[in-house]
A and B are shown apart, each in its own frame.
Chain A
Protein backbone atom coordinates (compact mmCIF):
# COMPACT_ATOMS: atom_id res chain seq x y z
CA UNK A 1 0.00 0.00 0.00
CA UNK A 2 1.27 3.46 -0.80
CA UNK A 3 1.81 5.74 2.15
CA UNK A 4 0.86 9.41 2.07
CA UNK A 5 3.85 11.76 2.40
CA UNK A 6 3.87 14.98 4.41
CA UNK A 7 4.99 17.98 2.37
CA UNK A 8 7.94 19.53 4.21
CA UNK A 9 10.92 21.72 3.46
CA UNK A 10 12.92 18.80 2.13
CA UNK A 11 11.65 16.79 -0.77
CA UNK A 12 11.12 13.16 0.21
CA UNK A 13 13.52 10.83 -1.54
CA UNK A 14 13.58 7.13 -2.15
CA UNK A 15 16.35 4.65 -2.77
CA UNK A 16 17.16 0.99 -3.05
CA UNK A 17 15.48 -1.26 -0.50
CA UNK A 18 17.19 -4.09 1.34
CA UNK A 19 20.70 -4.97 2.41
CA UNK A 20 23.45 -2.54 1.49
CA UNK A 21 25.62 -3.89 -1.30
CA UNK A 22 29.05 -5.17 -0.18
CA UNK A 23 30.79 -2.18 -1.78
CA UNK A 24 28.71 0.23 0.30
CA UNK A 25 30.08 -0.66 3.74
CA UNK A 26 29.73 2.05 6.40
CA UNK A 27 33.48 2.73 6.15
CA UNK A 28 33.23 3.31 2.41
CA UNK A 29 30.27 5.66 2.89
CA UNK A 30 32.18 7.65 5.52
CA UNK A 31 35.17 7.95 3.21
CA UNK A 32 32.91 9.27 0.47
CA UNK A 33 31.55 11.95 2.81
CA UNK A 34 34.98 13.04 3.97
CA UNK A 35 35.99 13.75 0.39
CA UNK A 36 33.39 16.51 0.18
CA UNK A 37 34.88 19.67 1.59
CA UNK A 38 33.84 23.28 1.91
CA UNK A 39 35.28 26.06 -0.20
CA UNK A 40 37.35 28.65 1.69
CA UNK A 41 36.92 32.37 2.18
CA UNK A 42 39.69 34.41 0.59
CA UNK A 43 40.09 31.80 -2.18
CA UNK A 44 38.86 31.72 -5.76
CA UNK A 45 35.23 30.66 -6.21
CA UNK A 46 35.16 27.43 -8.28
CA UNK A 47 33.99 28.24 -11.80
CA UNK A 48 30.97 26.41 -13.23
CA UNK A 49 28.48 26.45 -16.08
CA UNK A 50 24.76 26.01 -15.46
CA UNK A 51 21.49 26.30 -17.29
CA UNK A 52 18.90 28.66 -15.91
CA UNK A 53 15.74 30.67 -16.33
CA UNK A 54 15.53 34.47 -16.35
CA UNK A 55 12.85 36.87 -17.54
CA UNK A 56 11.04 34.34 -19.71
CA UNK A 57 14.21 32.93 -21.32
CA UNK A 58 16.25 29.79 -20.83
CA UNK A 59 19.92 30.71 -20.63
CA UNK A 60 23.35 29.21 -20.00
CA UNK A 61 25.52 30.96 -17.43
CA UNK A 62 29.21 30.72 -16.59
CA UNK A 63 30.30 32.13 -13.23
CA UNK A 64 33.54 33.59 -14.65
CA UNK A 65 31.46 35.76 -17.03
CA UNK A 66 30.59 37.79 -13.93
CA UNK A 67 34.19 38.78 -13.12
CA UNK A 68 34.15 42.52 -12.43
CA UNK A 69 30.79 42.30 -10.66
CA UNK A 70 29.70 41.31 -7.18
CA UNK A 71 27.92 37.95 -7.21
CA UNK A 72 25.54 36.46 -4.64
CA UNK A 73 25.34 32.70 -5.20
CA UNK A 74 22.44 31.20 -3.25
CA UNK A 75 21.56 27.52 -3.01
CA UNK A 76 18.18 26.31 -1.74
CA UNK A 77 16.54 22.90 -1.21
CA UNK A 78 14.05 23.04 -4.03
CA UNK A 79 11.38 24.84 -6.02
CA UNK A 80 7.93 25.01 -4.45
CA UNK A 81 9.33 24.67 -0.92
CA UNK A 82 8.06 26.95 1.78
CA UNK A 83 10.83 29.00 3.39
Chain B
Protein backbone atom coordinates (compact mmCIF):
# COMPACT_ATOMS: atom_id res chain seq x y z
CA UNK B 1 0.00 0.00 0.00
CA UNK B 2 1.27 3.44 -0.94
CA UNK B 3 -0.15 6.86 -1.68
CA UNK B 4 0.05 6.15 -5.43
CA UNK B 5 -3.20 5.66 -7.35
CA UNK B 6 -4.21 2.23 -8.66
CA UNK B 7 -3.37 3.53 -12.15
CA UNK B 8 0.24 4.22 -11.16
CA UNK B 9 0.35 0.77 -9.50
CA UNK B 10 -0.68 -0.73 -12.84
CA UNK B 11 2.06 1.16 -14.70
CA UNK B 12 4.73 0.15 -12.16
CA UNK B 13 3.64 -3.48 -12.24
CA UNK B 14 3.30 -3.71 -16.02
CA UNK B 15 6.45 -1.78 -16.93
CA UNK B 16 8.93 -2.71 -14.20
CA UNK B 17 7.85 -5.24 -11.56
CA UNK B 18 6.67 -7.76 -14.17
CA UNK B 19 10.28 -7.78 -15.43
CA UNK B 20 11.41 -8.93 -11.95
CA UNK B 21 8.57 -11.36 -11.17
CA UNK B 22 7.08 -13.69 -13.78
CA UNK B 23 3.46 -12.70 -14.33
CA UNK B 24 3.80 -9.55 -12.23
CA UNK B 25 2.99 -8.91 -8.59
CA UNK B 26 0.82 -11.80 -7.30
CA UNK B 27 -0.81 -9.81 -4.49
CA UNK B 28 -2.98 -6.69 -4.37
CA UNK B 29 -1.28 -3.31 -4.70
CA UNK B 30 -3.43 -0.97 -2.62
CA UNK B 31 -3.85 2.76 -2.98
CA UNK B 32 -3.96 5.06 0.05
CA UNK B 33 -4.26 8.51 -1.51
CA UNK B 34 -3.89 11.19 1.13
CA UNK B 35 -2.37 8.64 3.52
CA UNK B 36 -5.64 8.17 5.42
CA UNK B 37 -4.98 4.52 6.24
CA UNK B 38 -1.29 5.18 6.94
CA UNK B 39 -2.26 7.86 9.45
CA UNK B 40 -4.50 5.45 11.36
CA UNK B 41 -1.72 2.86 11.44
CA UNK B 42 0.79 5.52 12.53
CA UNK B 43 3.29 5.17 9.69
CA UNK B 44 2.39 8.17 7.49
CA UNK B 45 5.12 10.81 7.22
CA UNK B 46 3.18 14.05 7.27
CA UNK B 47 6.15 16.25 6.22
CA UNK B 48 7.25 14.15 3.23
CA UNK B 49 3.69 13.19 2.30
CA UNK B 50 4.53 9.49 1.99
CA UNK B 51 4.15 6.23 3.89
CA UNK B 52 7.22 4.85 5.66
CA UNK B 53 8.04 1.14 5.41
CA UNK B 54 5.48 -0.16 7.89
CA UNK B 55 4.71 -3.89 7.91
CA UNK B 56 1.87 -5.41 9.94
CA UNK B 57 1.11 -9.08 10.64
CA UNK B 58 -2.65 -9.49 11.13
CA UNK B 59 -4.01 -12.84 12.32
CA UNK B 60 -7.26 -14.56 11.20
CA UNK B 61 -9.18 -12.80 14.01
CA UNK B 62 -8.05 -9.40 12.69
CA UNK B 63 -5.61 -8.88 15.58
CA UNK B 64 -2.26 -7.19 14.95
CA UNK B 65 0.40 -9.65 16.15
CA UNK B 66 3.46 -7.68 15.11
CA UNK B 67 4.76 -4.74 13.18
CA UNK B 68 7.99 -3.23 11.93
CA UNK B 69 8.59 0.30 10.63
CA UNK B 70 11.66 1.47 8.70
CA UNK B 71 12.57 4.79 7.14
CA UNK B 72 12.59 4.71 3.32
CA UNK B 73 16.27 3.98 2.43
CA UNK B 74 16.48 0.53 4.10
CA UNK B 75 14.59 -2.41 2.61
CA UNK B 76 12.90 -5.17 4.56
CA UNK B 77 14.02 -8.72 5.33
CA UNK B 78 11.26 -10.83 3.80
CA UNK B 79 12.60 -14.06 5.35
CA UNK B 80 12.32 -12.55 8.82
CA UNK B 81 8.72 -11.59 8.13
CA UNK B 82 7.95 -15.16 7.01
CA UNK B 83 9.69 -16.54 10.12
CA UNK B 84 7.51 -14.39 12.35
CA UNK B 85 4.33 -15.46 10.54
CA UNK B 86 5.36 -19.14 10.87
CA UNK B 87 6.02 -18.62 14.59
CA UNK B 88 2.63 -16.96 15.15
CA UNK B 89 0.92 -19.74 13.18
CA UNK B 90 2.61 -22.41 15.32
CA UNK B 91 1.57 -20.66 18.53
CA UNK B 92 -1.99 -20.30 17.28
CA UNK B 93 -2.12 -24.00 16.31
CA UNK B 94 -0.86 -25.00 19.78
CA UNK B 95 -3.47 -22.68 21.36
CA UNK B 96 -0.73 -20.99 23.34
CA UNK B 97 0.75 -24.21 24.78
CA UNK B 98 4.02 -23.53 22.98
CA UNK B 99 6.21 -20.45 22.66
CA UNK B 100 9.05 -19.75 20.23
CA UNK B 101 12.24 -18.56 21.95
CA UNK B 102 14.77 -16.13 20.49
CA UNK B 103 16.30 -17.44 17.28
CA UNK B 104 13.49 -19.93 16.65
CA UNK B 105 12.77 -20.97 13.12
CA UNK B 106 10.80 -23.92 11.71
CA UNK B 107 12.38 -27.19 12.87
CA UNK B 108 13.96 -25.69 16.00
CA UNK B 109 12.74 -26.55 19.53
CA UNK B 110 9.90 -24.57 21.10
CA UNK B 111 9.31 -23.92 24.80
CA UNK B 112 6.27 -25.10 26.77
CA UNK B 113 5.56 -22.35 29.28
CA UNK B 114 4.39 -23.58 32.68
CA UNK B 115 5.44 -23.88 36.32
CA UNK B 116 8.15 -26.47 35.50
CA UNK B 117 9.86 -24.08 33.08
CA UNK B 118 10.32 -21.30 35.63
CA UNK B 119 14.06 -21.00 36.32
CA UNK B 120 14.75 -23.87 33.92
CA UNK B 121 14.86 -22.18 30.53
CA UNK B 122 18.67 -22.53 30.64
CA UNK B 123 18.27 -26.32 30.39
CA UNK B 124 16.08 -26.05 27.28
CA UNK B 125 17.63 -23.11 25.48
CA UNK B 126 21.29 -22.19 24.88
CA UNK B 127 22.59 -18.78 23.82
CA UNK B 128 23.93 -20.23 20.57
CA UNK B 129 20.31 -21.02 19.60
CA UNK B 130 19.65 -17.28 19.27
CA UNK B 131 21.81 -17.32 16.14
CA UNK B 132 21.58 -19.23 12.88
Tell me the A residues contacting B by CB distance below 8 Å. Answer: 9-11, 13, 32-33, 36-48, 50-55, 58-59, 61, 63-64, 66-81, 83
Check: B81 CB closer than 8 A to any chain A CB: yes
Which B residues are CB-close (under 8 A) to A68?
60
Cβ–Cβ contact B62 & A79, under 8 A = no
Picked from B6, B46, B52, the residue with its CB within 8 Å of the CB of A53 is B6
Instruction: Tell me, in angstroms, the Cα distance from A81 to B75 when the chains sit together.
Output: 11
Chain A residues closer than 8 Å to B99, beta-carbon distance: none
Is B30 a contact partner of A72 (Cβ separation < 8 A)?
A: no
The main secondary structure of chain A at its interface with chain B is loop
What is the interface of chain B mostly: helix, strand, loop, or mixed? mixed
Q: CB-nearest residue of chain B relative to A47?
A: B62
The chain A residue with its CB closest to the CB of B46 is A33
The 10 A-B residue pairs whose C-beta atoms are closest, nearest first, are A38-B42, A75-B51, A79-B12, A71-B58, A9-B72, A53-B9, A83-B75, A52-B30, A75-B54, A73-B56
Let me know if B100 is at the binding interface, CB within 8 A: no
By size class, the interface of chain B is: 35 or more
A70, B60: Cβ atoms under 8 Å?
yes
What is the CB-to-nearest-CB distance from A50 to chain B, in angstroms, rounded to a whole number? 4
Interface string of B53-97 (1 = CB under 8 A from A): 111111111111111000011111000010001001100000000
B100 to chain A, nearest CB (A): 15
Query: Chain B residues near A83 (CB, 8 Å)?
Result: 53, 72-75
